[in-house]
Structure 1
Amino acid sequence: MKVLLLGSLISSEQMEKFNNNSKEKASVAPVNYEMMLVKGLVENGAEIEALSVPAVAAYPHSIYKRITANKEVIEEKIKAQWVPFVNIQGLKQLSIQRNVEKLLKQWLEENRKIKDKIVLMYSIYPPYSEPAIRLCKEYCCHLCAVIADLPEYMYSWKNMTGIRGWYSKRLSKKMLALQDKCDSYVLFTKPMAEKMGIENIPYIVSEGFCDADIFKDIPDQEKYERKTILYGGNLSRLYGIQNLVKGFMKTDLDAELHLYGAGADAGFIEECIKQDSRIKFFKRVDRKTLLIALKRAHLLVVNKPTEDDYSNYSFSSKILEYMASGTPLLTTKVGGMPEEYLKYVYIIDDESIDGISNALTTVMANTSQALCLFGKKAAQFAISDKNYREMTKKILTFLQVQLCGDK
């Protein structure tokens, strides 16, 4: 089978370069997912190419006024063609749409005689989903969309104001109108199907991948001398960071809370450090430094509030990454988490400040040995049952069935 991945796949080196030159950092989660997706598909026998729109903040939030066409070979196997565009808001989306249409049409023409081909699209981002939906129908090419987050929440949850707020609402409306126009779907959670109104369109649920290889260059690490709780990622109320910090401050634990990342609540954290010396703030660090820290910590935390409807239709890619580290995870039970995970993670049942304080106290009462054993069991589950090779094998089988049905 020949697959064209339409998304934002670029090399990690290029992604880091873009983020280092941007005030607003693009999430690396989509690129990490797409990387494992293409690796798994290749290892399961598919022929892969990528048509990529690099995720970079629009000028002046980055130094880039224009992204030029570029070709790179990723993982020595996947040919990626960058879509060029003018990186200025408004012009950015128009130029992406125009150039995706040109390059996608070119690929479809070149592969017109190949019957077993498919366009696999990451998200329903209108600048590239609109031409993809139209052209795939014109060329009778199967179009499958990967939905990691509900289209209606992709922009609205950010609560942007002004021109950016107006534009984000416009994009959300477009995505809602397009969300049922694909031939099949890979969904991160089962509840998404009903919410999107696509129960009668073929779909498969795959909540993400575990990539044990991310730790292959990280040797076994000694745990921190003092028990350590670690959170890494977006530092904002949307991810429950204030309740986590306040909950920790209410404990009398002989432990430290290590925080990594950037976000709107960075100032709040710096103020809390003045009140509680157990809190350590490392800001944004390179990936290897963070991976080492994940292995050295005694407990990792994902504190996404479940009262937010958005969270109950999503599954955080961070959960599998944390589980693969071998360090135990304490997390909220978002609606998209399958029941099979509950044996391998600690759950925050009460997400109030007192509830988080009690959860941290209860879990950290375990011995270091008991925590280590629990973390190892979670790692075995994630690596054996949720590794990207096995998960992409299921996706590829699903896609092959869809192609057979199209004939």
Structure 2
Amino acid sequence: MESLLEAFSLIPDPNALLILCGVGDAESTIQRYSDIDHRIRFLGQIPRDEVMELQSRATVLVNPRTNNSEYTKYSFPSKLMEYLSAGVPVVAHELPGVPVEYANYIFYTKEQTPAGLADKLIEVCSMDPAIRRRRAEAARTWVQTQKDPYTQTERILKLMASVPLPEGLEE
């Protein structure tokens, strides 16, 4: 979270606004940054419907997780699915646990640093809104049609059916 706060502090636009919601270990850090930078708003824990409304109105959604821990090789940040489903552009660092097909829908940073994140946020926010909207809508459609529970279950069942049973267990 601190990398996102550092990145935001590098964005010179006085009208930029960073809204953060939720609870957790980073609350004191967020509060410290928001005391210094009036553009950072920390809402704490708010009802889910309010979070969804804020997400739908955002210019961009950010997942600031970096590839600096071993677990990122084996994990997928579920927040990405929520963000991609929102129909809003998503900025993130590329992680080994996220399949390559997601690169068509996520605006990845060039560097996994606060400066790299700031550069990508400035780039995406400076894009033609119609281009941002098209990519975000493509992401939402892709998640709804290719990553929904039914399609994923079908893929798992096909995979299971393709694996031969060990000798002696055949029907």
Provide the TM-score with structure 1 as the length reference.
0.39
Name the structure 1 match of 2:88: 327
- Residue pairs, 1:20-31, within 5 angstroms: none
Mapped contact 1:248–1:357 kept (Cα < 8 A): yes
Name the structure 2 match of 1:392: 153
Q: Give distance in 1, aligned partners of 2:143 and 2:132.
A: 17
Name the structure 2 match of 1:106: none
Q: Given the alignment, which residue of 120, 135, 144 partners 1:359?
A: 120
Task: Measure how far apart 1:373 and its partner are.
Answer: 1.8
Task: Measure how far apart 1:284 and its partner are.
Answer: 1.3
Measured against aligned partners, the alpha-carbon deviations of 1:243-283 in whole angstroms (never above 9, x if no partner) come to: 10111011112211110111112011111111111111111
Mapped contact 1:298–1:372 kept (Cα < 8 A): no
- Residue pairs, 1:62-211, within 5 angstroms: none
Name the structure 2 match of 1:249: 9
Q: Give distance in 1, aligned partners of 2:111 and 2:155.
A: 35
Q: Given the alignment, which residue of 33, 39, 42 partners 1:278?
A: 39
Q: Given the alignment, which residue of 89, 99, 111 partners 1:338?
A: 99
Task: Measure how far apart 1:357 and its partner are.
Answer: 1.7
Gaps of 5+ in 2: none
Q: Does 1:304 align with 2:65?
A: yes
Name the structure 2 match of 1:287: 48
**Structure 1 range deviating more: 345-354 or 367-376:** 367-376
Name the structure 2 match of 1:376: 137
Task: Measure how far apart 1:314 and its partner are.
Answer: 1.3
Task: Measure how far apart 1:302 and its partner are.
Answer: 0.8
Name the structure 2 match of 1:266: 27
Query: Which residue identity does 1:366 align to in structure 2?
Result: M
Q: Give distance in 1, aligned partners of 2:20 and 2:96.
A: 25
Task: Measure how far apart 1:334 and its partner are.
Answer: 0.5
Q: Give distance in 2, aligned partners of 1:287 and 1:343.
A: 28
Q: How many residues align?
A: 167
Alignment partner of 1:307: what SS?
coil
Task: Measure how far apart 1:290 and its partner are.
Answer: 1.3
Q: Identity percentage over the alignment?
A: 24
Greater share of residues in strand: 1
Q: Give distance in 2, aligned partners of 1:343 and 1:396.
A: 26
Gaps of 5+ in 1: 1-240
Task: Measure how far apart 1:404 and its partner are.
Answer: 5.8
Measured against aligned partners, the alpha-carbon deviations of 1:317-348 in whole angstroms (never above 9, x if no partner) come to: 22122111101100111102222211111002
Name the structure 1 match of 2:78: 317
Q: Give distance in 2, aligned partners of 1:399 and 1:357.
A: 43
Name the structure 2 match of 1:203: none
Measured against aligned partners, the alpha-carbon deviations of 1:93-151 in whole angstroms (never above 9, x if no partner) come to: xxxxxxxxxxxxxxxxxxxxxxxxxxxxxxxxxxxxxxxxxxxxxxxxxxxxxxxxxxx
Task: Measure how far apart 1:349 and its partner are.
Answer: 2.2
Q: Highest CA radius of gyration, 1 or 2?
A: 1
Measured against aligned partners, the alpha-carbon deviations of 1:152-178 in whole angstroms (never above 9, x if no partner) come to: xxxxxxxxxxxxxxxxxxxxxxxxxxx
Q: Give distance in 2, aligned partners of 1:366 and 1:321.
A: 23
RMSD value, Cα:
1.8
Higher RCO structure (Cα 8 Å, ≥6 apart): 2
Q: Give distance in 1, aligned partners of 2:2 and 2:144.
A: 31
Alignment partner of 1:251: what SS?
coil
Query: Which residue identity does 1:331 align to in structure 2?
Result: A
Provide the TM-score with structure 2 as the length reference.
0.88
